[in-house]
Amino acid sequence: MPYTQFHVSTEKLGHHYPVVCSDNAGGKHRFYIENAPAASKKPDLTFCEGGNNSGRVVGLARFPRFSSNCEVLIVNDECPKNEDWKTVSKRGFVTMQYSFHTPVSGEMRSLVWKKTRSMGGGSSPYPNMKLVDEQSGDVLGVFSTDHSSLVAGDLDMRVNYGESFDRWAFVTGVAVREAQRRKNNSSVRALDNRATAGAAIGGMGAGGGA
């Protein structure tokens, strides 16, 4: 059944993400996103049905080293886990855009996640995202970021293209946000390392005159 909203939250310990989503009949469903450590051989993100990582896997995401792109896979009975990974390609350096291709109503379409400050809610310093059909210009979904985390927030679907399409929007949207979170954390660590090294060098220079 098609979904209308995915509410993504963050666990207090670690960066795993419980998800509660609503369908267009008013029902509630749960997903759980397991975030693998960097040294793990598992996919970076594993999307499971239910409230923990023991549920059926419905999606995967990975972040190739030395690349700004994401790779995602929707898992179902017709799609084994080791096939049909799709690349979500990052465009540009200043204006963030991530594009991918997926079937929409039987036709392959080019979709792109873009920043937006005019759509969606939330009070985060990070801009929200909108999913746009590049051929028609239609906005298909809006990901509003929560103030507490770059990944947590609400994905509101604006079209009824079916459950499979909703999961594509869900998996790609979270993958893009997680890629941004990891990049931000890497940048902060790099700045901290430079500051620590500079302080150490400065301390050595100040201590030499016995």
Looking at CATH, the fold of the domain delimited by 3-197 is given as: Porin (2.40.160)
Report d(CA 138, CA 91) in Å as an integer: 19
Dmax of the chain from CA atoms? Answer: 80
- Amino acid symbol at 134: E
Output the pLDDT for position 95. 75
Tokens found for residue 103: 């079937």
Report d(CA 100, CA 90) in Å as an integer: 9
Output the pLDDT for position 80. 52
Contact 70, 179 (CB under 8 A): yes
Output the pLDDT for position 191. 40
- Tens of pLDDT, residue by residue, the chain (210 residues): 568 999 999 987 778 999 999 988 888 999 999 999 877 889 999 999 999 999 999 999 999 988 889 999 998 765 555 568 999 999 987 777 999 999 888 899 999 999 988 887 766 677 899 999 999 999 999 999 887 678 899 999 999 999 989 999 999 999 999 998 888 876 544 444 444 444 445 555 555 554
Output the pLDDT for position 133. 96
Contact 128, 113 (CB under 8 A): no
